[in-house]
Amino acid sequence: MTCPDKPGQLINWFICSLCIPRVRKLWSSRRPRTRRNLLLGTACAIYLGFLVSQVGRSSIQHGQAAEKGPHGSRDTAEVPFPEIPLDGTLAPPESQGNGTTLQPNVVYITLRSKRSKPANIRGTVKPKRRKKHAVASVAPGQAALAGPSLQAQEAARAADAAVPGFAQGGNLGKVGERPWRLVWGPGVRAGGSDFLQPQAKESNIRIYSESAPSWLSKDDIRKMRLLADSEVAGLGQVSSKSGARLLVLEGGAPGSAPRCGPSPCGLLKQPLDMSEVFAFHLDRILGLNRTLPSVSRKSEFIQDGRPCPIILWDASLSSASNDTHSSVKLTWGTYQQLLKQKCWQNGRVPKPEWGCTEIHHHEWSKMALFDFLLQIYNRLDTNCCGFRPRKEDACVQNGLRPKCNDQDSAALAHIVQRKHDPRHLVFIDNKGFFDRSEDNLNFKLLEGIKEFPESAVSVLKSQHLRQKLLQSLFLDKVYWESQGGRQGIEKLIDVIEQRAKILITYINAHGAKVLPMNE
């Protein structure tokens, strides 16, 4: 007799040792078989039967384990209920050579692979709130081009061809959604076998808020993006000593030759003329609206790759003379006479003997204020008679400085109108100077001006000029970075704010009027 080695077997043997003698004594004795004794004996008999069946089953399993070895017993111990598969499936039983089948004691579990939901492929990615999102425009002629073959898309379609809920032989998108399409951005060339994903070029005109600043119209934003992002289709030379180039931009009528008129054009100037961009934004903030849209752009035509200003070419401007670049020929003496006559003010038709031009009187006030803030001297003071010029100034290079003795005969330059609107001026060639000290400001630009525009003066008096300039100049990414970021822009604004204070002091000291000039 072997000693039991498990607690359960020990308990069984203990109960069995108590019940067997009692049952045997019960049936062999002469005591009356009461109901209690009968129940107790029946219970003991049932328990003994249960023990016998367990002992027989245990001996069979031990015999099989001895035949299979230690590996089989270890697998059986790991699975406590071999007859219950975890996923309801069992592998077929192994077949022996004599045709009988051997029931397995290992459960084969079939795991169903979970296919992750494919990402929704889109042509564009929605940017974050503080990041520039450019609306990609379709370049002319690209609409007829067939879309490129996307190798990654074809491979994914082959892998997911049998997945329910996805269309076979089509774009990778859910059934019922709009088909995935390629978005062409400006500057992105079509074609190329290595083109795997659509790439929309980010615009250099960045607008993070829902709308542009209020002083910039939708047409201004459209033209700024045209100048900053359009590809160059042609190149022309301008009859100018400044070395400016005329760039023919893409965006004209399909099939037309790349020339100004059918296609938009931009005047590319030298890197030293970057103040043209600042002048454009200042003009819009002051409410003058007399300059042409201008942006900064890195041009492939400049060897060192420095950014250059590019100004929109306006074909509606009146033709100008080659010497003064003006559509109206005026001298300083004639200009002073026009200021006294106040031509076309309050709807009054000037008399022929006054010698008035078609330009409205208020236009001179706007030009004088604008030129003083930026210290632009090449319109009203071409001979540099109102300040001490530097050696590199154009008046000194051209030898015009000695002509200040006869200022009345000095010709005005860059006085330009539009053909369909001769009453208003267009400010061109707006190169400003920020390095001129306060004791060398050109007050000759304000001579003869008795009225100033109310919209511009109110902005100069307010405390929001700096904020508006920062917000507006930030739109031009290339210009912002070329000036050293916010730190460099702040220095330029410091100069304009100081000159604005001096101008307000001048207006108050001379009793000049501030009038609404919204005719």
The DSSP secondary structure of 71-120, one letter per residue, reads: HHHHHHHH-S-TTS-SSS--PPPEEPTTS-EE--SSPPP-PPPPPPPPP-
Express each pLDDT in 462-471 by its tens digit: 989 999 999 9
Question: Tokens 């400044």, residue?
Answer: 242
Q: How far apart are CA 485 and CA 478, in angstroms?
A: 10
Give the Cα-Cα-Cα angle 428, 219, 135 (nearest 5 degrees): 125
Q: Is the pLDDT of residue 149 over 80?
A: no
Q: What is the 3-state secondary structure (H, E, C) of 188-205?
A: CCCCCCCCCCCCCCCCCE
Extract long-range pairs of 167-176: CB within 8 Å, 24+ residues apart: 171/121, 172/118, 172/121, 173/120, 173/121, 174/120
Q: How far apart are CA 296 and CA 465, in angstroms?
A: 22
259 three-class SS: coil
Q: What pLDDT is recorded for position 151? A: 36
Q: How far apart are CA 407 and CA 381, in angstroms?
A: 9
Structure tokens that stand for 197 in this block:
């994903």
Structure tokens that stand for 402 in this block:
């000695």
Q: Is the pLDDT of residue 97 over 80?
A: no
Give the Cα-Cα-Cα angle 376, 380, 385 (nearest 5 degrees): 85
Extract long-range pairs of 483-492: CB within 8 Å, 24+ residues apart: 483/274, 490/466, 491/434, 492/278, 492/434
Query: Average pLDDT for residues 167-177, to the nearest whole number?
Result: 34
At position 323, the amino acid (one-letter code) is D
Q: How far apart are CA 191 and CA 150, in angstroms?
A: 11
CB 445 within 8 A of CB 386: yes
What angle, rounded to 10 degrees, do the helices at 454-461 and 485-510 form?
Answer: 120
CB 418 within 8 A of CB 318: yes
CB 296 within 8 A of CB 275: no
> Which phi-psi region, left, alpha or beta, contains residue 99 (left: φ > 0; alpha: ψ -120 to 50)?
left
Q: What pLDDT is recorded for position 250? A: 78
pLDDT band at 321 (very low <50, low <70, confident <90, very high): confident
Q: Is the pLDDT of residue 229 over 70?
A: yes
Q: What pLDDT is recorded for position 73? A: 43
Q: Is the pLDDT of residue 294 over 50?
A: yes
Phi, psi of 266, rounded to the nearest 5 degrees: -135, 140
pLDDT band at 55 (very low <50, low <70, confident <90, very high): low
Q: What pLDDT is recorded for position 61? A: 55
Query: Average pLDDT for residues 397-419, to the nearest whole number?
Result: 89
Q: Determine the length of the chain.
A: 519
CB 132 within 8 A of CB 209: no
Q: What pLDDT is recorded for position 516? A: 93
Q: How far apart are CA 368 and CA 363, in angstroms?
A: 9
Express each pLDDT in 345-391 by its tens digit: 988 898 888 889 999 999 999 999 999 999 999 999 999 999 999 99
Express each pLDDT in 27-41 by its tens digit: 555 555 577 777 877
pLDDT band at 242 (very low <50, low <70, confident <90, very high): low
Please state whether beta strands 294-298 and 307-312 pair in parallel, antiparallel, or not at all (unpaired). antiparallel
CB 390 within 8 A of CB 445: no
Question: Tokens 């004794």, residue?
Answer: 37
Q: What pLDDT is recorded for position 398? A: 86
Output the average pLDDT for the chain.
74
Q: Is the pLDDT of residue 221 over 70?
A: yes
Query: Average pLDDT for residues 196-204, to the nearest whole number?
Result: 61
Please state whether beta strands 451-453 and 513-515 pair in parallel, antiparallel, or not at all (unpaired). parallel
pLDDT band at 459 (very low <50, low <70, confident <90, very high): very high
Among the listed residues 412, 430, 419, 413, the one whose alpha carbon sits nearest the alpha carbon of residue 290: 430
Q: What pLDDT is recorded for position 129? A: 52
Please, where are the H alpha helices in 177-274?
218-229
Eight-class DSSP state of 352: G
Query: Average pLDDT for residues 168-189, to the nearest whole number?
Result: 34
Q: Is the pLDDT of residue 236 over 60?
A: yes
Is the pTM higher than 0.85? The answer reads: no
Eight-class DSSP state of 291: B
pLDDT band at 286 (very low <50, low <70, confident <90, very high): very high
